[in-house]
Structure 1
Amino acid sequence: MSSTKPPLPTLLANHWQRIPVDLTDPETAWILKLAVSGADGWALGPHGPLHDRGMTLAEITSGAVREALLHLLELGLIDIDTDRLRTAYAFPLRREPEEPRP
């Protein structure tokens, strides 16, 4: 993974340059597997949607993402760049569309 971060946009509506992520890199795959493990553990556990069938899709998605992110943070595998967060004017709310998989 690249350790160089692109500059932040200088205006609210400007495009955010993304850090390239190589999904074929074994280390990236390992980190993704750990994140998925955290999400799966929540989904299959006592507080997940298998035991609370009244959850909406949004609640299920939020819970899984929250658990995956917390899992990686608690393991010390990712650090949040709070200076970068405070400096940014706004944030894109979605990832850019993925290229179709072969």
Structure 2
Amino acid sequence: MTGQPEKPPLPARMFDPWARIPVDTSEDSDFHRLNRIAGNAATGWALGPDGAYAQSLTLAEVVDGSVREALLHLLELGLIDIDSARMNTAPGWPTHRERKTS
């Protein structure tokens, strides 16, 4: 993404809150474009010969497979990168996304 703010510092301890980076999710944003690319890759997998419908997978397996396919596609295209140093330095990772209510 272009013009993305600098990453905030990692939390000091496991289970401390992670500071979040603001993301523009409007229809003309880079996020929106990436979301469409990833969504198409995930849908292609789900409907394809190795996907959810062909294998009668559980909902959890469908979600895991779709997320894997979407992330793999974006990584292979070089559209996203893994920050290995940040990931390996963190004391732990939040597994649930905090949602803002408005």
The alignment's TM-score, normalised by the length of structure 1, stands at: 0.90
Q: Equivalences for 1:61-72 in 2 at 5 Å?
A: 61-72=63-74
- 2:9 maps to 7
Matching residue within 19, 25, 28 for 1:17: 19
* SS state at 2:53 partner: coil
Q: Which moved more, 1:91-100 or 1:43-52?
A: 91-100
Paired residues, number: 99
Cα deviations by residue, 1:64-96 (Å, 9 ceiling, x for unpaired): 000000010000000000000110000000111
Cα deviations by residue, 1:37-76 (Å, 9 ceiling, x for unpaired): 11011001001111112x1111000000000000100000
State the 4+ residue runs in structure 1 displaced beyond 4 angstroms.
Answer: none
Deviation at 1:28, TM superposition (A): 1.5
1:40 aligns with 2:43: yes
Paired with 1:92 and 1:43, the residues of 2 have a C-alpha distance of 27
The alignment's TM-score, normalised by the length of structure 2, stands at: 0.90
1:73 aligns with 2:68: no
RMSD: 1.3
- 1:51 maps to 54
- 1:29 maps to 32
